[in-house]
Each structure stands twice: as C-alpha cells, then as structure tokens.
Amino acid sequence: MSARLTEAGEARARELIRAHRLWERYLVDRKGMPLEAVHAEAHRREHETTPEELERLDAELGHPAWDPHGHAIPAPGGRVPSPPGRSLLEEGTPGSRLRIVCLDDETAALLAQLVALGLKPGADVEVLEQKPNLLRLHLDGNIVPLAAAAARHVSVVPAPALPVPLGELPAGSQARVVEAYGGGKHQRRMLDMGFVPGAEVTVIREAPLGDPIEYRIKGTAVALRRKDADTVLVEELRDE
Amino acid sequence: MNEKRIVVGMAGNPNVGKSAIFNALTGSRQHVGNWPGKTIERAEGVFYHGDWEIHLVDLPGTYSLAAQSPEEIIARDYILSGEPDVVVNVVDATSLERNLNLTLQILELTDQVVVALNLMDEVKRQGWEIDVGALEAALGVPVVPTVATEGEGLPQLAAALREMAEGRRQLHPASVDYGLTVEGHVQRLEADLASLGIDGRRRWVALRLLEDDPEIVEAFKGGNLSDCCLREDAPSVSSEALQAVLRRAARLREATRPDARVEIVRRRYEFAHDVVHRVARRLRPVEESLTERVDRIVTHRLWSWPIMLAILVAVLWVTIQGANVPSSWLEGAFGWLAQVTRDFLLEINAPWWVVGSLVDGLIVGTGTVIAVMLPPMVIFFTAFNLLEDIGFIPRVAFNLDRLMRAVGSQGKHTLVAMMSFGCNVTGVLTCRIIENAKDRIVAIVTSPLILCNGRFGAGLALIILFFGNRALPVTLVYLAVSVGAMLLATWVLNQLLFRQEPGGFVMELPPYRKPKWGQVIWRTLVYQVGHTMGRAVMIAAPATLLIWLLGNLPPGAPFERTAIGWLVRTLAPLGRPFGLTGEMLTALLFTLPAKEIVVPSLAMTYGLQTTLVDSEAILDYLAQTWTPLVAFSFLTFFMLYLPCLVTVWATWKETRSLKWTLMSLVVPLVTASGITFAVYQGGRLLGVS
C-alpha cells in the first residue's frame, strides 16, 4: 500500500523541506553550529516560520542553493530535487576518485562521525580498498577507514579530473582554467588575453609541426607555445 | 588659437578597425611620425564637427595597459599624461569580453571615455544581438555602434565626442570590485599614499603596486613620481617613505592567495563576463565559421606547406612579371626627361660637365634606380598587405613558429623574412611587429641576408645569361642559400648573445576578413613605397652623381686613368681569394645605393660605358669573359654581401644603436665572404672552371 498526499499536502511538505534546509544553512553559516547538531534545531524552527519570515531568511542568506549537507534547497513552490549523486557504498570501487555531494542528515551521531573524519560535502576522496563491511579511503593525504553502513549515507559523484597543464590536452578538448601564473611577461600577456581562472578554453589545433597550439578563449583564437600553455592548469570539461 | 579644440586619444585592441575609424574621420588631414624615443608609429589627424576642432591621436593597439610592452607603456602614459581631453576606445563587438578588459582599465584612468562599438555588421552576421543601451548603462559612458568600413556610426561618434567636450554627458564609469582581499589591500595602500600627500588616482596606483607593475615600481624606486605620470603636481616625497610603501605592497602581494596579479585580471574578466551576459543575446545557434573551414586547410599538417609555398611563389612571380612593363615605361619616361634636359642645356651652352653630371649622372642614374625599384615594390607590397589584411599572414607565423624556434626565434620572424623578399628596408621596418626585444634585434640584423627583389631581379638576368636552361635549379639554390644563411645567422646570434633570454610567442589569430582595399593601397603607397622610395632617391641621387664623376674624371682621360680605373686596380687583390676581380668589387660598391643597378655598374667598371644605363653590350662582354665558376662566385657574393644604404639607414632608425647597425653590416659580409670562398676554392679543387 502506498500513501499519497493531496496536492495541498504536497505543497505544504515542499515548504517545510525548504524551511528546514534554509534554517540548517542559517545555523551553520550564521550561528556557527556544528553540522551534526543542526538537524534537530532546524526541525524545531521549521514549523514556527511564516512564509514571509522564510523569504526574508532566504534573502539574508543570499538565496543559497544547497543546505550544509549538500541537499538542494527547493525554490518557493518548486519541486524538491532528488538528492544528487549515488551512494558511496555502490560507487566505491577501488581506484575510483569521487566527490562527496551530500550527507544523509537523519542520524546526528553518524553525521558527527562523518564530519569528524573530514567527509564533508565538497571533499574529494579516492577509494583504496573495498571489503564487505569496510571501505578505506584516501582523503587529503590521510587514510580513512569507513564502515559500509556509514558509507551508505554518503552520496558521491565522480570527482572532476585533477588539474592538468593546458598544453597536454589534445585538439578538440574543452577545459576550464583553474590556476594561472602571474609572473613572467608571457604569462601576463596570457592573462590579458583571457586565460584567467574560471575561463573556458577550447583546444582548436596544433600547428603543422606540433607546436604552437591554437586555443579559443573568450571568443577569440590565440596561439600559444606548449611551454607557455603548460603554465596554465585546467580541468577538462566533458560533454554533457 | 581656437578655443573650441579638443584632443582625443584612440585606444583599442589590435585588429578592431581603429585605423579604419581614424582614416575615415581625418581623411587626408593626418600626419605620421614616431612616439618620442620609440620606433612605434604615432598617427595624428584633425577633423571638424560643427565649430569644434577635434584633434585625433591614434594610440598603438594593445590588449591591456599592463605596461608589459612599449606599446602598452605608450598608450598608458599618454592617457595618464592628461593630454587627451577624451579617449575613444574602439571595441571589437564580436569579442566583447576580451575587449572590455581594456575598456575597464581605461575607465580606471579617466571617465572621459567614448566607446566605439565597432564591427557591428559582423556581430549581426554571426547571429548575435547587442543591447547598446544596456551596455552604455553597464559601462557608464557613451557607447556608439559603428561599422567603420562602411562609415556607419561615425557622425554619431563625432557628435558624442562633441557632447563630451561640451560637458553635456552624465558619466558614471563602471568600477570593478576586486573582491574582499584585494580591496582590503588596496585600501591600506591608498591610506599610505594619502599620508604621503599623493592624491588623484590613488586607487589605480595602489592596484598597480599590488600587481608589481614594472613602471610604477621603477618610479617609486627612483623617487620620481611624475615619471609614472602621477600628474605634474606630484609632491616630493622622501625616498625612504616610498620604499616603505613598496615594501608594504610586496608584503601584501606575497600574503595574497591566489596571486594578486591573477586575481585582479580574473575579477576584471568576471565583471566583463557579467556585462556581456547582460547585454549580448544569441539569436541563432553557432555555425561553423568560414575562418574555421579555411583554417582547417591552411594550417593542415600536410596541405599548409604547398599552400604557403604556392602563395609565396605566386607573389614573387606576379611581382617580377608584372613589374617588367611599368619598369620599361618609367625607363622611357626618364630617357625622355634626360633628352629634353640635355637639349635645353646644350641650347643655353652649359659646360660639358654640367650636362654630363646632371643628365648622365643624376637623371639617368636616379631614373634607372626608380624605374627598377618602384614597380616591383608597389606590386609586392600591395599583394603582401592584402594577404595580411585578409588574415593569412598570422597563419604563416603560426605554421612556422616551431621552425623558427629551432634557431631561437619565433613565428613572426618568418613574416619579416617574407617582407624582406620584397625589400630589406621594409623587412627591417616590419620587425616592429615582434614585441620581444631580443627577437626583434635578431630579425633586423639578419634580414639583409634575405634576397630582396632588387638582387633577385638583377641576379636573375645574370643567372639566365650564364646558366641558360639550368637557370631554375640555380635560382632555387640561391634562394635556399639565402634562407639558410638567415637561419644560420639567427641561430648563431641567439647562441652567442642571447642565451639567457627567454623567447616566446603569444599571438591572436584574427578571423579572415574581406580586404579593405582603400586602406591596403593607402598603407602600401604612403607608408611603405612612399617612405622607402623617398629615402632611396635621396641616397641614390648623390650616389649616382658621384659614380658619374668617378667614371668621367679627370675629363677626357682614358678608362685606366679615371677614378674608377684606379679603384679597380686598388681593390683587385682583395677579391682574389674569392674569385672576384677589381671590376666586380668596384661595381659592388656602386650598387650599395640600390642593388638593382648591378649590370649598368659592371658596364661602367669594365669601361664599356660612362653612364648608368642598361645595355646589351655588357651582357655579351660578360658572357665571353666570365667562366661559370667566376659567375657563380660573383652571384653568391652579390646575393649576400652587404645591405643597401637605405637598409642601413632603416636599421639605424629602428635600433638607434651603433653596435647593432654595425652588426647588420658585419653579419652579411662575413657570411658572404665565407660562402663565396668555399664556393670558389671548392670549385677549383674539384677542377670546375
């Protein structure tokens, strides 16, 4: 048997979820509460908030898109997006690099444990080993053991590729600049041409002798020698 | 003095149509010179709008005002100097974000800015729409859409300038927020500057200090703030206080993560990105552009080579073939002028030496130089400028950069070499496109090794005479020797003198565009042919007069007793190891004003005639007296030996250095001597005669 909410009931549920997640955001960002403690407090406050107060809270926090656990905050009257990512337990094959996007916030004790280990939304981990009830993860230079039962409550997506020097990308690739170097004359010129962090670059082609390389950046085509291109670090973008 | 006069500086990225707007507004009322102490062109012009006299100064094209190149320093210092009342920023509307990087920097220096949003026709063609009103609101200064090549929007631009001059515009220039960290540092530095009594542009100076801007740091170190254009009323500040500010700036810079220099540019681009996002709208999906399709072939791993070769050969062929007819016309015209002048002088009973020096020396000699130089120059440079105008030339630099890197240079050097095929003088002047000082010097000094059209044409006549049906392979050998010598000399100079200096290559590949004929012809005739021919005639006129005197003094003497006869005997021993005779060396001296006159010079040094005109007699004579080995040795030396005097003059102008000017003489002379020695002695050892 499956229970179904009426339309009005569904709207009310959405509003509560929105209030809950906004309050959690507020408690972490403004009150400095630990992540594992906010669930209960937000749960208490969500029922006492008028829609007007909620919108003021939203504006004050700068219309955040995510709660501190990594769940999306629905827009007013909008659908509740399904939690992003898949469970670390399913995805945790040895050798995979994953980014944590979301923590299940139902059990405070578990949450406290995850946070203490450094497993927060936004952190990247590499799975070293997978045993029936234990995962060994590589996180920020430390090896972290994690019970399979806990891993079930962690959602992950594949981690973006590690930044690579721009010169290493083959023709046709698309990438986003993550780091540029401001030192030398050519690097300064490259910054002015638009090779700044955040900029999207397309590798168009190599010259007939393999070097220099033509890039498209900020709507213009610029040729760089591989040696100079390598001073820019990028993350490759995959086609969506 | 007109009260209603304003000075307007024009700034913008390269390739955005700045010159087109400048030319369209000023027409022929312009003057081209150099920026003081620099070899960068400064064009000025005047136009009128109502009763306003508007004085335009075209600033060098730059991507930034970061003071990383002489162009950027000139543009920045000029805006800082307060001389321009208004700055027109010409912007390429098809790459708005990149162009706004410069606009936002200009707005940090002055609010008296009018933005000319150029290439609006291309924007439409590419399927974009730009909301000009919204852009104006975002930047806080007037924005005028233009299509410079069609003259569209230029009256509105002039009107906007006039409104600025009359103070009728409300300005709220956009200001970039550089983020908490940088802004915090800027505030502290601004406070420091204020406590030193420095006012005006404090925020700008503080930002430059954080960026470790070479010019500003230098000015602070030298204790002379007016050096970095902080206005003439800069207070005198103790150098310790300035050093303290520098130290603080360095500390703040080191404490900033990520790099403050990167962060400042990143924030500026972020701002520009937001503006573009708000004002530009795509109407149609992206299509593959013509540029993309053409480039796939022109820069192809295989096809690029035959294409570049074919175009180079075609340009040279058109030049040589096309120049024949106008050259003979000009020769006829000067012959007629000589005849008329001679008749007139004889009529008034002028003494023989007046008739001789004026007619046979000056008119015939200079006439020959003009007749052989002018037509090929016009054709070659028109063709080359067209290729540049449509955007082909940057592709050649892109294709060949790797090749030139092997000898320590870079892609733009190949353009200098190609220009030098037309004329070494223009080759030397073209070196201005190379920003890197080391690469530029090497390109200047080695460009005389490239066979110019003058040597090529004159040499070709001799090659055909001596090698008949083997002329083609021999010609190709000379071309290869010439290019090889240039590459070798470049490598040697880089190895000997510039081992430490890093080279580099950052170049925009602009989209292919329809040629702007008017501008191409204007640039060819006025800037290149006009300037170069003017100099050439000024050098050739006294030189041809001198040559006539050498060949005809003392009066009535037999050939052996003339000054030429003496020169031939004196120089003879010098040439022996190279298979060259005194006659040849003397003729080579005579060709220093213009290499084209080598055959008439030989006619004079062999005593066959006393004026510099072409004749069949000398060719018959040479065919009988020179062996193929001697001819080959002479040609080798002639192809490489010394730059013409006009090239030397240009080298001096461009380098302002005695050392490098001398080097531009030594390098070809040593190369020519070495190769000719090897050719002649090698030939003798092998028993070739």
Q: Hey, what are A51's tokens?
A: 């829609």
pLDDT bin (cut points 50, 70, 90) of residue B413 is very high
Sequence-ordered list of residues with C-beta below 8 angstroms from that of B532, at least 6 positions apart, any chain:
B377, B423, B425, B426, B646
Q: How far from B59 is each of B80, B103, B115, B173, B213, CA to CA, in Å?
A: 13, 14, 15, 21, 21
The order of strands in the sheet holding B52-58 is B30-34, B41-49, B52-58, B5-12, B86-92, B113-118, B143-145
Displacement of CA A212 from its chain's centroid (Å): 34
Which of the two residues, B670 and B223, has the higher pLDDT score?
B670
pLDDT bin (cut points 50, 70, 90) of residue B274 is very high
pLDDT for the residue numbered B329: 93
pLDDT for the residue numbered A2: 53
Contact across the interface for B259 and A225, Cβ inside 8 Å: no
Q: Number of helices and strands (H, E) in chain B? A: 30, 10
B509 touches chain A (CB under 8 A): yes
Does residue A68 contact residue A38 with C-beta atoms inside 8 Å? yes
pLDDT for the residue numbered B168: 81
- Tell me the C-alpha distance between B671 and B677, whole Å: 10
- Summarize the confidence of residues B54-82 as an average pLDDT: 89
- Tell me the C-alpha distance between A135 and A133, whole Å: 7
pLDDT for the residue numbered B656: 87
Contact across the interface for B399 and A199, Cβ inside 8 Å: no
- Tell me the C-alpha distance between B487 and B405, whole Å: 10
Residues of chain B positioned with their CB less than 8 A from the CB of A192: 63-64, 66, 68, 101, 265
pLDDT for the residue numbered B672: 92
Residues of chain B positioned with their CB less than 8 A from the CB of A185: 68, 504
- Tell me the C-alpha distance between B314 and B397, whole Å: 19
- Tell me the C-alpha distance between A85 and A81, whole Å: 12
Residues of chain A positioned with their CB less than 8 A from the CB of B508: 193, 220-223
pLDDT for the residue numbered B235: 61
A99 to chain B, minimum CA–CA distance in Å? 23
Name the DSSP class of B405: H
Does B199 have pLDDT greater than 80?
no
**Interior CA angle at B37 toward B34 and B41, to 5°?**
20
Residue to substitute from B259, B271, B506, interface A, most A β-carbons within 10 A: B506
CB-nearest to A210 from B262, B291, B402 is B402
- Note which residues in 183-212 of chain A have CB less than 8 A from chain B: 183-186, 188-194, 196-199, 204-205, 207-212
User: Percent of chain B beyond pLDDT 90?
Assistant: 40
Residue to substitute from A174, A179, A181, A188, interface B, most B β-carbons within 10 A: A188
- List the one residue out of B653, B375, B383, B394 whose CA is nearest residue B510: B394
Span B231-258, pLDDT tens digits: 555 566 777 888 888 899 999 988 877 7
pLDDT for the residue numbered B670: 92
B559 to chain A, minimum CA–CA distance in Å? 58
User: Percent of chain B beyond pLDDT 70?
Assistant: 97
Q: Label each residue of B254-322 as H, E or C.
A: HHCCCCHHHHHHHHHHHHHHHHHHHHEEECCCCCCCHHHHHHHHHCCCCCHHHHHHHHHHHHHHHHHHH
Displacement of CA B210 from its chain's centroid (Å): 34
E strands of B64-189, at which residues? Answer: 86-92, 113-118, 128-130, 143-145
pLDDT bin (cut points 50, 70, 90) of residue B228 is low
pLDDT for the residue numbered A203: 96
Which of the two residues, A182 and B658, has the higher pLDDT score?
B658
Residue to substitute from B262, B276, B500, interface A, most A β-carbons within 10 A: B262
Displacement of CA A220 from its chain's centroid (Å): 30
**Look-up: residue for tokens 């800069």?**
B234
Q: Is B243 helix (H, G, I), strand (E, B) or coil?
A: helix
Q: Is B679 helix (H, G, I), strand (E, B) or coil?
A: helix
Residues of chain A positioned with their CB less than 8 A from the CB of B258: 179, 197
pLDDT for the residue numbered B687: 81
CB-nearest to B398 from A191, A192, A214 is A214
Contact across the interface for B504 and A185, Cβ inside 8 Å: yes
> Least CA distance to B68: which residue of chain A?
A185
Contact across the interface for A222 and B302, Cβ inside 8 Å: no
- List the one residue out of B328, B332, B356, B361 whose CA is nearest residue B342: B356
- List the one residue out of B49, B53, B56, B51 whose CA is nearest residue B155: B49
Residues of chain B positioned with their CB less than 8 A from the CB of A212: 398, 401-402, 411, 505
Contact across the interface for A223 and B98, Cβ inside 8 Å: no
- List the one residue out of B253, B247, B271 whose CA is nearest residue B179: B271
Q: What backbone phi and psi angles, to 5 degrees, belong to A220?
A: -125, 160
Does B2 have pLDDT greater than 80?
no
CB-nearest to A212 from B63, B98, B398 is B398
B502 touches chain A (CB under 8 A): yes
- Tell me the C-alpha distance between B392 and B297, whole Å: 12
Where does residue B215 fall: left (phi above 0), alpha (psi -120 to 50 degrees), or beta otherwise? alpha
CB-nearest to B266 from A193, A196, A222 is A196
Whether the ω angle into residue B554 lies within 30 degrees of 0, i.e. cis, is yes
Name the DSSP class of B512: P
Sequence-ordered list of residues with C-beta below 8 angstroms from that of B269, at least 6 positions apart, any chain:
A194, A196, A198, A199, A218, B97, B101
**Chain A to chain B Cβ contacts (< 8 Å):** 128
> Maximum distance among all alpha carbons in chain B?
90
- Tell me the C-alpha distance between B512 and B290, whole Å: 8
The order of strands in the sheet holding A124-131 is A86-87, A154-158, A97-103, A124-131, A134-139, A142-147
- Tell me the C-alpha distance between B44 and B50, whole Å: 20
Whole-number mean pLDDT of chain B?
A: 87
- Summarize the confidence of residues B415-430 as an average pLDDT: 87
pLDDT for the residue numbered A240: 47
- Summarize the confidence of residues B577-606 as an average pLDDT: 90
Does B227 have pLDDT greater than 70?
no
pLDDT for the residue numbered A1: 47
Please count the other Cβ atoms lying within 10 Å of the Cβ belonging to residue A210.
10
- Tell me the C-alpha distance between A174 and B627, whole Å: 64
> Least CA distance to A232: which residue of chain B?
B262
pLDDT for the residue numbered A83: 67
Contact across the interface for A225 and B505, Cβ inside 8 Å: yes
Does B501 have pLDDT greater than 70?
no
CB-nearest to A194 from B98, B397, B405 is B98
pLDDT bin (cut points 50, 70, 90) of residue B47 is very high
Q: Hey, what are B273's tokens?
A: 């990105």
- Tell me the C-alpha distance between B591 and B594, whole Å: 5
Residues of chain A positioned with their CB less than 8 A from the CB of B260: 182
Please count the other Cβ atoms lying within 10 Å of the Cβ belonging to residue A32.
7
pLDDT for the residue numbered B234: 57
Sequence-ordered list of residues with C-beta below 8 angstroms from that of B636, at least 6 positions apart, any chain:
B478, B481, B672, B675, B676, B679
Residues of chain A positioned with their CB less than 8 A from the CB of B505: 212, 223-225, 228
- List the one residue out of B84, B92, B118, B128 whose CA is nearest residue B14: B92
pLDDT for the residue numbered A36: 79
Q: Label each residue of B434-498 as H, E or C.
A: CCCHHHHHHHHHHHHHCCCHHHHHHHHHHHHHHHHHHHHHHHHHHHHHHHHHHHHHHHHHHHHHC
Does residue B355 contact residue B345 with C-beta atoms inside 8 Å? yes
Does B456 have pLDDT greater than 90?
no
Which of the two residues, B447 and A3, has the higher pLDDT score?
B447
Does B230 have pLDDT greater than 80?
no
pLDDT for the residue numbered B500: 65
pLDDT less than 50: residues of chain A:
1, 240
A134: exposed, middle or buried (Cβ count in 10 Å: 0-12, 13-18, 19+): middle
pLDDT bin (cut points 50, 70, 90) of residue B663 is very high
Among the listed ranges B304-318, B493-507, B588-602, which one has the minimum average pLDDT value?
Answer: B493-507
- Summarize the confidence of residues B482-499 as an average pLDDT: 88
pLDDT bin (cut points 50, 70, 90) of residue B1 is very low
Displacement of CA B564 from its chain's centroid (Å): 38
- Tell me the C-alpha distance between A225 and A211, whole Å: 6
pLDDT for the residue numbered B312: 85
B76: exposed, middle or buried (Cβ count in 10 Å: 0-12, 13-18, 19+): buried
Q: Is A125 helix (H, G, I), strand (E, B) or coil?
A: strand
